[in-house]
Amino acid sequence: MRGGLKIKSRKMQPKFFGYLLFLFIFSAFSLVLTSSLDAKIIGDRTISYKYISTGFEHSCAIAEDGTTYCWGGAGRGQLGRGTGGSSEKIPVKVGVGEYGSAIPKEDTIIQISAGYYSTCAVTSSSKIYCWGANGTGQLGVNDYSDRNVPREVNIGINDSEIPAGTKMEKIEMGNRGFVCALSTKKQLYCWGDNVGGKLGNGTTTSSKVPKKVKIGESGSEVPSGALVKDFSLGNDHACLIDYEDQVYCWGKNDKGQLGINSTTNSSVPKKVKVDNSGSELPNGARIRKISTGATFSCAIASNSETYCWGENANGELANGSYTNSSVAKKILKGAIPFDESLVEIKSKGHASCSKTTSSGLYCWGSNYKNKLGHTNSGNSVIPTRVRGLASSPNDVRPTEIFGIGESFACSADYKEGLTCWGNNSTTGLLGYGSEDDHSAIPTKVSPIYAMQEIKQDVDAKFYKASKESNPTEQISDTTEIGQSFRLRAGFSNNADSKIYNASETCNRYLGSSKIYCRGARGIAFSGYQDLADGRDHILRVPRIFHYHDYRSNISGKTTLKNLSFDSETGCALGTDNLAYCWGANSNGETGNGKDSEASFIDKVKIGTSGSEIPAGSTIKQVASGGNHSCAIASDNLVYCWGSGNRGALGNGASNDSNVPKKVKIGTNGSEIPAGSTIKQVASGGALSCAIASNDQAYCWGSSYLGDGTSNDSNVPKKVKIGTNGSEIPNGVTIKQISVSQLHVCVIGSNDLAYCWGDNAEGSVGDGSTAIVTVPHKVVIGSLDSEMTSGLKFKKIISGKYHTCAIASDNLLYCWGGNSRGQLGINSVQHQTTPKKVKIGTNGSEIPAGSSIKDFSVGEAFACAVTTNNLIYCWGIDYVSGQVGTKVPKKIETGTNGSEFTGNVELKGIYSGGLATCALDANNKLVCWGQNNYWLISYDDDYSPYTPINKNPVLTGTGDSELPSTEYIKDIKMSVNGACVIATDNNAYCWGMLWQTAGWNRTMPKKIKIGTDGSEIPAGRKIYKIFESDNIFCLLDSNGDAYCLGSTDFRGTLLGNNTTDSSDVPKKIKIGTDGSDIPSDEKIEQISVGQSQTCALTSDKWVYCWGESESSGTGMSSGRYMVPKRIVNGDIDPDESLDKVVSSLNGACTLSNKGKVYCWGKGEYGALGIGNTNDSLSPKAIKVGTSGSEIPSGTKIKDLFAFGYGYCVLDENNAFYCWGANYSGQLGIGNTSNQTVAKKVKFGTDGSNIPSGSIIKDVSKNTNSNSICVLTEKDV
């Protein structure tokens, strides 16, 4: 996407949040730029923006309240305000429902693109509108007349190839008279000028209505049936990314801008060359972002590297030269810090700007009119940092949104607001009201007030700021402060909004009018009322982490220990000695074999799905380093997974992996001796280090390996001892190691500490600020070190820019970066030698005389546990909930909502990024801080994402018992009804679910808890729900299982030792009344069929109850009223079971060895055993024999059921089904029933599922004669 800009987050979207995702991208988390709601800010009339697009000589931006503004050149009507004129030097409002605009008043603009004297937009009704110059038909309205207000693009009329009724989600204008738009069905359409074939429809004929880009035909190299994920337009060429993350380009190619190793134009998409003909884009690379400039293109790949191709006369390719290239070339990092990578890129004209992982903004290419944001006049062939405002030119601004125009650029952040720089000419491109020729530094865009009729003499007396009260008090009506004015975020004139006072303790919006409130300690937040109620995903006091959630894959008996996490991903050991990870997962950093954007707690793969950890292994230690993680398995070898950028996985490659890969030992240049084992591993950023069995340290990944070089390595390199300037004496071995993104520290066998790496702020502790490539001794007893001679180091932890350690006097010492007060010494000055953390002085709340038992270090803060088992923290309060002081402050205990009781023995404290967790002796985990990607809480009050929208028909109306204040977290459907789990963790059901049990409801009714015979104890919450045609089963917050419904149909029972139906939950028998489930086990999963119910328990076996005569419960025939253990049948004695699914008349289970076993009725071939025989015991499905298309030896990694059959996903992501096929439900191109597994058609024989797709989920309805699947691309 080029020229248009969105605030986006790396966030997990549950599969039922599809609609939410669409709205979230365009509407959520708008940027609040004010610092308080007082008279000063009202006088400034600052506004917050959530989207900006920069064009040839004008810009447009969408404000937080949905109002859209444009500024700059106006000669062709491109500002959409209903008049002409030469220019507007400050923002003016685009016509919506006024000036003759075709956009209805009730509609709002959610995405906008400023182009070459024209503008186009998508509205909330999913329609597209354009205005401005129309000389090439680029407005898509079937003529060539300019428009000065929005006009709807032709859809379904005048030979437009966009079908009538199609909804659109993105539009972009090229910089030379053409436009493309993407539909919600992921089809791409273009119109306007067609020089070079840039419309992609196989012709060079221009079009004044939309034409479909060729996919899979007319020479297009995009596979047939492929869907378009994103796209970007240059001057006369365009590129797209499909859902296989491959990139294709078309149009003019005189500079090699198509990346196809030629300069021949193409009127249909051609695949960009990968790993051949000089292309530096590696084979297998997946493209995350694409952006096209005038005559060049750039892409960010899955290896976190950026590649560009095409014209390079101005340094557009950022590879240090001025030579054009028709194939992809990797850009140089230039001023970008070595530990950061690019996450967003925008190109236009002959330059690009990009945002890094730390939100820094860097630009390269043409510096015409100082477009690159620095005072040097020359072009740049490498990325250079955009300088700060004139008041603080050396600041690195944390950019949130940005855009680049033909000769200027703009960005916005939470502190300074919207600023622009570069060419201003006479049209006021920079929007600050001046006719200056240009500005080399970012300059604030003028505040918006003229078009809102806010009186400039608004008096502060009508507002009051209160630190004590919540913002619910109406202060004034409209008549007292001016017509049509209401105080809102952005100071919109929406007349539906009331006025509220501000509160520094409020962290949420109120009511339905997007009221702005302030966060704790002066941090501002904003939201969007239709999607969020202001939850800012910050835990400001310790809260229990209820990670045994219905979305997690962890046994109810297993608890977490030994946590390791950064700002977005966490890992831990379970008490079952397996590794669990959760959080951000776009690079596979949770190790669960999935490529989802994020993950709830899930097991790291062992022995399956390509994991190189041997089957049956346990885990001894796990370390999360950010974009990758590592673990030591029971074979005492180390395995890593996640981003392979810079060789972080240590396996001799640089590819990402979503399952563990073995770190090289004794091969491929690894300096760990063959036969060695690993004792400890630590990870940070793109770097990992380990202590081997010879007590030497080895590192791999990015730069600071301690080997005397600044080179990356994809295999372990030995840390220097006694050579190359290393200050670790010969004969000293390594006892402990700690790794951050930028430096490494160790404790030697002499109990002294040594560090190396980036040292700009003194984090090495050697008294200097010079970069160190080999270990240097941390200073003791000299150079102002407060650690006296003779003290020893007991434990050391590295933060991003600082380090802390407990010494033998049981006090804590810190050194390095201190801009946030993270050293705890009552200053913000960096320190190059250890300084003692304040205890009992200078406002420190740690009592005088206290000793330190344990501590943890985050990105720019630290926490300590004292001998009184209380926790004290200090350092950053960057919207994190961390304490935010220069000396230690006590964490809340039992007050203000804190769930940390204190005075309880703690097993450990863990910090990473901007969050902290503490584990007590009862295995209770309490956490606080920033909750990105559900890192430290699954509670909806602190959720980083908003649940699916409420249905007004079903909530809070009529006799519905589902409150209108609640959202839906999970939903299960049966043939005749549905049940949901709401955000209050209660279950609500409706429909004719179990008629004989007296339940036939047209509105949601709450499932009884603690009353009316319900066996769920009062106070419990519902966390999981399982369904069939006539029975629903539940798991509560204690891990206990219950069922309710009718037992009069096909023999299904509730498992409670009766044959009675029940319209309230009855507890499934465990350990009593003949139940075979041991009393100390928990039920983890339930699958309800039409005649039987089966459950997987924490002992990894399956138990069933119900009717066994016709369908089988895996036991002898009969009717079982309580759970009975299934017999082994073909299941090997050493196998355990990971999943169970029930069909109409049987069940199948998946073992830990990747094998599938089925039992029950064999009608239609449902058991997959090569015949239609029934079986009362588990039978292994056919693999590699009897016509089964599953290759011999293949392991199965997931299992699904439908009516009279089953489907599986194998370790190679191939999808197979068997059983009933009379309605074509196997997806194999015919309607013949199958007694063995057959491969489902992908990309052939008319199948619309693209070849290579991975199935993520399958619809479950036991009465269904069809199958629906969801791919990992969420299609």
Question: HEC profile for 506-536?
Answer: CCCCCCCCCCCCECHHHCECCCCCCCCCCCC
Judge whether 815 and 831 are in contact, CB under 8 Å: yes
Confidence of residue 625 (pLDDT cuts 50, 70, 90): confident
Instruction: Render 1142-1180 in DSSP notation, one character per residue.
Output: E-SSEEEEEETTS-EEEEE--GGGTT-SSS---EEEEEE
Half-sphere exposure of 695 (CA within 13 A, CB side): 10
| Cα–Cα distances in angstroms (integers) from residue 844 to residues 449, 458, 874, 888, 903, in the given order | 46, 44, 9, 5, 19
739-763 residue pLDDT tens: 998 899 999 999 999 999 988 889 9
Band the pLDDT of 306: cuts 50, 70, 90: very high
Q: What is the pLDDT of residue 454?
A: 29
Checking if the pLDDT of 496 tops 80, the result is no
| Predicted confidence (pLDDT) at residue 1210 exceeds the cutoff of 80 | yes
Which amino acid, residue 962?
A: L
Read off the pLDDT of residues 893-929 as tens digits, 9 standing for 90 and up. Answer: 877 778 888 777 889 999 988 889 999 888 889 998 8
Q: Is 545 exposed, middle or buried (0-12, 13-18, 19+ CB in 10 A)?
A: buried
Cβ atoms of 1029 and 1045 within 8 Å: the answer is: no
**Which residue ranges make up each domain of the chain?**
1127-1275
The one-letter code for the residue type at 802 is H
Q: Residue 767: left if φ>0, alpha if ψ -120 to 50, beta else—which one?
A: left
pLDDT for residue 11 is more than 70: no
Strands 772-777 and 802-807, by their bridges, are unpaired
Q: Which residue has the higher pLDDT, 265 or 627?
A: 265
Chain segment 634-647, per-residue pLDDT in tens: 999 999 999 998 89
The Cα 764–Cα 1113 span in angstroms is 64
pLDDT digits (tens, 9 = 90+) for 1113-1158: 455 666 789 999 999 999 998 899 999 998 888 999 999 999 999 9
CA–CA distance, 659 with 665 (Å, rounded to integer): 19
Query: Residue 111 has which token pair?
Result: 């995405």
Tally of CA atoms within 13 A in the half-sphere of 185 that contains its CB: 11
Distance of alpha carbon 888 from alpha carbon 822, whole angstroms:
9
- Band (pLDDT 50/70/90 cuts) for residue 1257 is confident
Q: What is the pLDDT of residues 574-595, one digit of tens each?
A: 999 999 999 888 889 999 998 7
Residue with tokens 């300690």: 521
Q: Across the strands, what pairs with 132?
A: 118, 147
Output the CA–CA distances (angstroms, integers) from residue 399 to 7, 288, 1072, in the order listed: 10, 20, 61
Q: At residue 932, does pLDDT exceed 50?
A: yes
Average confidence (pLDDT) over 1213-1225:
92
pLDDT at 1001 over 80: no
Query: What is the arithmetic mean of pLDDT over 374-392?
Result: 76
Q: What does the pLDDT average to over 168-187?
A: 94
Q: Burial-class residue 684 by CB neighbours within 10 Å (0-12, 13-18, 19+).
A: buried
The pLDDT assigned to 10 comes to 33
pLDDT exceeds 80 at position 783: yes
Residues 655/645, Cβ–Cβ less than 8 Å: no
Q: Write out the two tokens for 638.
A: 């180390």
In whole angstroms, what is the distance from residue 680 CA to residue 1091 CA? 51
Q: How many residues does the chain have?
A: 1275
Q: 574, 594, 696, 578: which is closest to 633 by C-alpha? A: 578
Q: What is the pLDDT of residue 774?
A: 95
Given a contact cutoff of 8 angstroms between Cβ atoms, the answer to whether 404 and 353 are in contact is yes
Which pLDDT band, with edges at 50, 70 and 90, does 1191 fall under? very high
Bridge partners (DSSP) of residue 638 are 632
22 or 581, greater pLDDT: 581
Residue 85 pLDDT exceeds 80:
no
CA-CA distance, 741 to 744, in Å (whole number)?
8
User: Could you give the 3-state DSSP secondary structure of residue 159?
Assistant: coil
Look at the block and give the residue holding tokens 């459907």.
Answer: 973
What is the average pLDDT across 365-381? 86
Quick one: pLDDT at residue 270?
A: 97
For residue 1174, pLDDT over 50 is answered with yes
pLDDT given for residue 548 in this prediction: 80
Q: 40 CB contacts (<8 Å, ≥6 apart)?
A: none
What confidence category does residue 416 fall into, taking pLDDT thresholds of 50, 70 and 90?
A: low
What is the per-residue pLDDT for 503?
29
Highest mean pLDDT of the ranges 17-21, 218-222, 798-802, 1061-1065: 218-222
Best CA proximity match to 1196, nearest among 1185, 1175, 1178, 1182: 1182
* More confident of the two residues 473 and 1054: 1054
Structure tokens at 696: 């030497």
Q: What is the pLDDT of residue 497?
A: 33
Is the CB of residue 362 less than 8 Å from the CB of residue 353? yes
Give strand ranges (E) for 1108-1151.
1119-1125, 1137-1142, 1146-1151
What are the CA-CA distances from residue 1119 to residues 256, 1008, 1116, 1218 (Å)? 73, 28, 9, 27
> Residue 1024 in contact with residue 554, Cβ under 8 Å?
no
Both structure tokens of 391: 């008041």
In angstroms, rounded to a whole number, what is the distance separating the alpha carbons of residues 1275 and 1260? 17
Q: Is the pLDDT of residue 167 over 90?
A: yes
Of residues 568, 497, 555, 489, the one with CA closest to residue 528 = 489
Question: What residues pair up with 188 in beta bridges, in sequence order?
Answer: 182
Contact assessment for residue 53 and residue 61, using Cβ atoms and an 8 Å cutoff: yes
Confidence of residue 466 (pLDDT cuts 50, 70, 90): very low
Q: What is the mean pLDDT of residues 927-949?
A: 64
Q: How far apart are CA 807 and CA 788, in angstroms?
A: 10
* C-alpha span between 920 and 931 (Å, rounded): 20
Query: Among 41, 98, 29, 27, which residue's Cα sits nearest to residue 488?
Result: 41
**965, amino acid identity:** T
- Condensed to tens digits (0 to 9), the pLDDT of residues 602-616 reads 999 999 889 999 999
Q: Do residues 204 and 196 touch, judged by C-beta distance below 8 A? A: yes
Instruction: List beta partners, residue 645.
Output: none
Q: How far is CA 647 from the centre of its chain?
A: 23
Mean pLDDT of the 463-477 span: 29
Q: Closest Cα partner for 226 from 271, 265, 173?
A: 271
What percentage of the chain reaches a pLDDT higher than 70?
82
pLDDT value at residue 699:
97
Mean pLDDT score of the chain: 81
Could you give the CA distance from residue 927 to residue 892 in angstroms, rounded to a whole number?
Answer: 12
Over the stretch 29-78, which tens digit does the pLDDT of each residue have?
A: 222 222 222 222 222 334 567 789 999 889 998 876 678 888 888 889 99
Q: How far apart are CA 632 and CA 638, in angstroms?
A: 4
Task: Please tell me the distance from the alpha carbon of residue 674 to that of residue 677, in angstroms, as a whole number.
Answer: 9
For residue 812, which of 776, 841, 845, 850 has the smallest C-alpha distance?
Answer: 850
Contact criterion met (CB below 8 Å) for 302 and 287 = yes
Q: Which CATH class is domain 1127-1275?
A: mainly beta
